[in-house]
Homo-oligomer: A and B are copies of this chain.
Amino acid sequence: MSERGVPAEPPETRGPRLEDEFGYAIGAIFRAYVKAVEAAVGDVPGASRGYLVLAAAAEGEAGSQRALAERLGVDRTVMTYLLDDLERAGLVERRPDPADRRNRHIVATEHGAKRLAELRDRVGLVEEHLLDVLPEESRGPFRTMLWAVADHASKESTLAEVCRLVPGFDVSEAPSRPPRHG
């Protein structure tokens, strides 16, 4: 029927297992973190994402909605909805920026700051538990390296450079991927 041949059954072991793929590893950690934090933060709107927004707001470094949305890799409209919920829960406030009244400064309320203190403890336990497979003396170095990679990955230039490295590769050219079903 089909001219495409039979699958290549591995005679022994030809390549890496699924679990050896970088994408598998990073995805597994990300999913576990999100799921655990989701439960740890209870009814905080936006779950792990809401926690990060609250953390930034409490440090007074959240900046404008747009800036915050970009840092978290979400659309600015999504940030609007998320902040609606966090504000309704009394955790954060939108402050008009006197310097540029188009901007809204995102800050934590007193209640938000207090709530965050508890959340930090709980989320901290989640993190600790995720990393407790590593020998204690490795955790510091691991975090340092993870942070360095994250910082690198966040840069616009990084994705752009990948495009130059891979022939016929262009991030901006979305290959007009069809929807999965519909």
Partner-B contacts on A (CB < 8 A): 4-10, 13-40, 42-43, 45-48, 51-52, 55-62, 71-73, 81-82, 84-85, 90, 92-93, 95, 107-113, 120, 122-123, 125-127, 129-134, 138, 141-143, 145-154, 158-159, 161-163, 165-166, 169-171, 173-175, 177, 180-181
Q: Which residues of B contact A35 (CB under 8 A)?
A: 159, 171
The 6 closest A-B pairs by CB, nearest first: A7-B107, A32-B153, A25-B150, A5-B110, A133-B152, A18-B56
Chain copies in the assembly?
2
Residue among A8, A152, A177 with the highest chain B CB neighbour number at 10 A: A8
Known contacts A82-B180, A129-B162; is-contact A150 B59 (Cβ 8 Å): no
Known contacts A4-B110, A59-B14, A138-B145; is-contact A73 B28 (Cβ 8 Å): yes
Question: Is the CB–CB distance between A39 and B163 below 8 Å?
Answer: yes
Question: Is the CB–CB distance between B85 and A180 below 8 Å?
Answer: yes
**21 intermolecular pairs with C-beta atoms under 8 Å apart:** A4-B111, A7-B92, A7-B108, A7-B110, A8-B110, A9-B60, A17-B59, A18-B61, A23-B51, A26-B30, A35-B159, A36-B162, A38-B177, A39-B171, A40-B162, A45-B180, A85-B180, A129-B165, A130-B153, A141-B141, A142-B146
Question: Is the CB–CB distance between A109 and B153 below 8 Å?
Answer: no
The answer for the CA separation of A25 and B111 in the assembled complex, in Å, is 26
Residue from the list B59, B146, B159 in contact with A26, Cβ < 8 A: B146
